[in-house]
A = this chain, B = another copy of it.
Amino acid sequence: MMGCKYGSHRVIEPKGVLPQAAYKISNDMSVLYDNEILIDVIALNIDSASFTQLKEEAGGDPEKIKKKILEIVNERGKMQNPVTGSGGMLIGRVEKIGEALVGKRDLKVGDKIATLVSLTLTPLRIDEILDIKMDIERVEIKGKAILFESGIYAKLPEDMEETLALAALDVAGAPAQTAKLVKPGQSVMVLGANGKSGMLCCYEAKKRVGPTGKVIGVVRREEAKKKVEELDICHEVVIADAQKPLEVLDKVLKANGGKEVDIAINCVNTPNTEMSTILPVRDEGIAYFFSMATSFTKAALGAEGVGKDITMIIGNGYTKDHAEITLQELRENEKLRKVFEEMYAK
C-alpha cells in the first residue's frame, strides 16, 4: 500500500493538509506503508527555541519537561511544541524499509541515521523517556518514528561521535546556505556568533569572504566574545544585545569602518531581533533569518518602516548537500570541532 510522498495519508486533523501543518497525525506503527521507512528511535534533539520554552514553562524541572513532551506526543502524534511551533530532529536505526523504497535508498536495516526533516512532521511514538540531557537539549527515548518518501536523512558518519554529528546536523541549513550566499570581499554580520549555528556560519562566512572581506560576530557576553575570538572564526567580535537594534547598528557600523554590511545572518534563539538584523544591512544587501523566533510581519513591516531595500530570506532548513557541507566544517577546523565536542558531545 502506497502512502502520499509527502505523508498526507497519516494526517488525522485537519484533513487535506500536510503533516507539518496538521494538528494531529497518526503514529500508529502497526501498519507500514510501502513508501515509508520505520525507525527505531534512540534520541530526539529538540529545537533550541522549543527547548527553551519547555524549560521555562517547567521552571527548569526535567520531570516536568518529560511529562510535557509525552503529553504533546500523545496528543499530536509528533513532537511539535504548540507554543513555538518548532520541532527538532532525531536519530535512530532503520528498522524496516517499505517495499517501494528498497534499493532506492542508500540504506539497509540496522543503519544508524539522523532524520533531517523536522520532528514537526514526523510520526513519533514514545514508549519511554530514558533521560533528558538538559545542557544539550537531547531527549533519549524508547520509541518508533516514520520517515516519508520525501523525507531527507543522513547516515551518521564513522569519524565522529554521534552526539557531535547530530548537534551539527540539526542546524546544517545555516552554514550550507551561508556558503551559497556569501561572496569574496563581502562584509558579513552574524548575530548569535557564539551559538551552534552562529559558530558554523561565522567559520563558513570567513572562508567565503576571503582576505578582502570581513566577518563581524555579535555576541551578548564578554565570555562569549573570548570564546569566538579564540576560535578565530570572525575578523571582529562585538558585544551587543540583539534585542536592541540601535545598539547593534552602532557597534557593527563601528566594526565595519562606518559602512553597512552586505549580508546579515540571524542565528539567535530569542524573539524581537528582526530590526537588529535589518538595520545594519546596506541597500540591496541580504538579511538571512535562520532563527525560528523570527516574526514574518515584524521583518516585512520593519524593513518597510525604515525604508530598507534589502532581500530578506527565510532560513530554509534544507539546501542541497547541507549535511555534507556542515560535517565537513568540523573535519576541517580542529578548534571548532573541539568546542563542539566540549559543548555537545557529552
Chain B residue nearest to A290 (CB atoms) is B300
Copies in the complex: 2
Which residues of B have CB within 8 Å of A87? 301
User: Is A310 at the interface (CB under 8 A from chain B)?
Assistant: yes
Chain B residue nearest to A117 (CB atoms) is B305
User: Is A65 at the interface (CB under 8 A from chain B)?
Assistant: no
B304 engages A316 (CB within 8 Å): yes
Number of residues on chain A facing chain B (CB within 8 A): 60
CA gap between A316 and B281 in the complex, in Å: 14
User: Is A86 at the interface (CB under 8 A from chain B)?
Assistant: yes
Closest-CB distance, A16 to chain B (whole angstroms): 5
A272 engages B309 (CB within 8 Å): no
User: Is A160 at the interface (CB under 8 A from chain B)?
Assistant: no
A18 engages B117 (CB within 8 Å): no
Chain B residue nearest to A151 (CB atoms) is B307
User: Is A247 at the interface (CB under 8 A from chain B)?
Assistant: yes
- Asked, given contacts A16-B244, A275-B18, whether A317 binds B297 with beta carbons under 8 Å apart, the answer is no
Which residues of B have CB within 8 Å of A247? 16
A311 engages B316 (CB within 8 Å): yes
CA gap between A186 and B314 in the complex, in Å: 22
- Asked, given contacts A20-B275, A301-B120, whether A320 binds B314 with beta carbons under 8 Å apart, the answer is no
B304 engages A300 (CB within 8 Å): no
A303 engages B317 (CB within 8 Å): yes
Within 8 Å by CB of A297, from B84, B274, B302, lies B84
User: Is A333 at the interface (CB under 8 A from chain B)?
Assistant: no
B17 engages A245 (CB within 8 Å): yes
A299 engages B272 (CB within 8 Å): no
- Asked, given contacts A16-B247, A272-B17, A275-B17, whether A296 binds B292 with beta carbons under 8 Å apart, the answer is yes
Closest-CB distance, A54 to chain B (whole angstroms): 16
Within 8 Å by CB of A307, from B245, B275, B297, B318, lies B318
Chain B residue nearest to A295 (CB atoms) is B296
Q: Which residues of A come within 8 Å of B, CB atoms? A: 4, 6, 8, 16-21, 84-87, 116-118, 120-121, 150-152, 173, 243-247, 272, 274-275, 279, 289, 292, 294-320
Listed from nearest, the 7 A-B pairs whose CB atoms lie closest are A304-B317, A312-B314, A85-B297, A304-B318, A121-B305, A152-B307, A296-B296
